[in-house]
């Protein structure tokens, strides 16, 4: 019999998450309320830094937008980030009327090349947004030093990076102005859709909370649970609709409790792949520094020139064998909007372009059994040896 198709990613939802969602539905409070607040408090505790504030939002895109808005980024400003990312990282800058300066990646880590980032800084540059690609933490010591030299704000795109570490510290606990995590369905933990903005800056946190829900001066949960009539509120800014529901937060509460276990299983799969692919004409993903944690959101291989097969044909061949794959990412400089707005060319980003033409993200998720992992290994080896 033909084995069932193995998808690129699947979430792992347990009975505790389901029970918490049912409890939420029965409680009558299904939008932002007590479960969202509990999830925020749990997230701060997870990061181990009491000075942090965690603000639950309906996507990492929303979190990035709120963070940059609260920092005052606007028309005439520039924000530096990498071309090798999903468009959300850059599009939020355009929401605010500011411009994006895209730079290339380090060919070893596939994270932002900080030398090129520094070279791209102009008098208009206000912020840098490093992306922790695939779950490998960017060198935040170097990012923060660069930001201090040039007076820049730092907003970390940590959509892939829970629970990654750099220098033994969790991503999210550094002295950045803000860090934003994603809980999309394919991420290392999920709320279906959702994200978390984390910051030490009390003013930024206050602004983000106001702008998260239409610019209303008072939190809806406070207004509707007060002991005395409290129907009045004020609109203090033209805000957004970025709040996380209690239904989603109910899932997040228990996913967060399992986050370290999820990472350990992903790391086991990555290690199996590393061992099995040794000697094949491909480049396996970069490893974290000794003592650090890689979240292994992605296991992105790069085909070597001697592989004798194009990336696209390789993906087709795996699909024919029942294995789902993806590509992370089609760099921003290849997309019509970014290419045409800023006059970008592939030769401006040789490392990202070279990686893109060879990149394949293989399945790596906690619902994969050892048999599933072996299927992927066997398929990769068969295609490359065939």
Q: Which two tokens stand for residue 71?
A: 């920092």
Beta bridge partners of 299: 362
Phi-psi region of 193 (alpha: psi -120 to 50; beta: other; left: phi over 0): beta
- CA-based torsion, 9, 15, 17, 18: positive or negative: positive
In total, how many domains does the chain have? 2
pTM of the model: 0.97
Q: Are residues 73 and 190 in the same domain?
A: yes
Which residue has tokens 């790596």? Answer: 364
Query: Cα dist. 235→63, 210, 239 in Å?
Result: 20, 9, 8
CB-based contact 344:333 (threshold 8 Å): yes
DSSP codes of every residue in 214-252: TTBSS-HHHHHH-SS------B-S---B-BPPHHHHHHH
Beta bridge partners of 235: 216
In a domain, 1, yes or no: no
* Count of CB atoms situated within 10 Å of the CB of 124: 12
Q: Are residues 313 and 247 in the same domain?
A: no
In a domain, 10, yes or no: no
Q: Are residues 49 and 150 in the same domain?
A: yes
CATH value at residue 230: 3.40.640.10
Q: Are residues 305 and 202 in the same domain?
A: no
What burial letters (b/e) apply to 86-116, b meaning 16+ CB within 10 Å?
A: bebbbbbbeebebbbbbbbbbeebbbbbbeb
Q: Are residues 126 and 56 in the same domain?
A: yes
**Rounded to an integer, what distance in angstroms lies between the CA atom of residue 20 and that of residue 246?**
10
What pLDDT score does 287 carry? Answer: 97
What pLDDT score does 223 carry? Answer: 60
Q: Are residues 294 and 213 in the same domain?
A: no
Q: Are residues 246 and 283 in the same domain?
A: no
Series of mean pLDDT values for 10-residue runs along the chain (386 residues): 92 98 97 97 97 98 98 98 98 98 98 98 98 98 98 99 98 98 98 98 98 87 63 91 98 98 98 98 98 98 97 98 98 98 98 98 98 98 93
Residue 312 is part of which domain span?
259-385
* Count of CB atoms situated within 10 Å of the CB of 350: 12
**Rounded to an integer, what distance in angstroms lies between the CA atom of residue 90 and that of residue 94?**
7
Which residues are known catalytic residues? Answer: 187
What pLDDT score does 233 carry? Answer: 86
Instruction: Look at residues 257, 274, 304 and tell me which one is the last residue of a structural domain.
Output: 257
Residue 165 sits at φ, ψ, to 5 deg, of -130, 155
What pLDDT score does 268 carry? Answer: 98
| Tens digits of residue pLDDT in 218-233 | 776 666 666 656 778 8
In a domain, 2, yes or no: no
């Amino acid at each position: 019999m033909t084995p069932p198709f193995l998808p690129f990613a699947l979430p792992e939802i347990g009975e505790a998450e389901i029970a918490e969602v049912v409890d939420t539905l029965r409680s009558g409070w299904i939008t932002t309320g007590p479960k969202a607040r509990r999830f925020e408090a749990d997230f701060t505790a997870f990061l181990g830094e009491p000075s942090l504030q965690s603000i639950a939002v309906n996507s990492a895109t929303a979190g990035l937008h709120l963070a940059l808005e609260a920092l005052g980024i606007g028309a005439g400003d520039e924000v530096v980030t990498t071309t090798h990312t999903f468009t959300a990282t850059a599009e939020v800058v355009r929401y605010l009327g500011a411009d994006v300066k895209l730079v290339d990646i380090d060919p070893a880590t596939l994270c932002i090349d900080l030398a090129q980032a520094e070279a791209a800084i102009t008098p208009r540059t206000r912020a840098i947004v490093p992306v922790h690609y695939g779950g490998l933490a960017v060198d935040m010591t170097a990012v923060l030093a660069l930001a201090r030299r040039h007076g820049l704000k730092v907003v970390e795109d940590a959509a892939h990076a829970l629970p990654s570490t750099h220098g033994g510290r969790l991503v999210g606990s550094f002295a950045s102005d803000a860090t934003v995590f994603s809980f999309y369905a394919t991420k290392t933990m999920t709320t279906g859709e959702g994200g978390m903005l984390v910051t030490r800056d009390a003013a930024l946190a206050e602004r983000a909370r106001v702008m998260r829900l239409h610019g209303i001066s008072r939190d809806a949960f406070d207004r509707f649970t007060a002991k005395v009539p409290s129907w009045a509120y004020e609109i203090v800014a033209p805000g957004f609709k970025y709040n996380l529901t209690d239904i989603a937060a109910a899932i997040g509460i228990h996913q967060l409790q399992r986050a370290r276990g999820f990472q350990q299983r992903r790391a086991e799969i990555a290690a199996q792949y590393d061992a099995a692919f040794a000697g094949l004409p491909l480049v396996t993903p970069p490893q974290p520094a000794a003592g650090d944690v890689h979240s292994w959101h992605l296991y992105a291989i790069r085909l070597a020139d001697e592989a004798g097969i194009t990336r696209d044909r390789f993906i087709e061949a795996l699909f024919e064998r029942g294995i789902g794959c993806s590509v992370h990412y089609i760099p921003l400089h290849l997309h019509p909007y970014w290419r045409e707005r800023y006059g970008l060319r592939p030769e401006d980003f040789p490392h990202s372009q070279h990686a893109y033409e060879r990149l394949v993200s293989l399945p790596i998720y906690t619902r994969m059994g050892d048999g599933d992992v072996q299927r992927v290994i066997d398929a990769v080896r068969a295609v490359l040896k065939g």
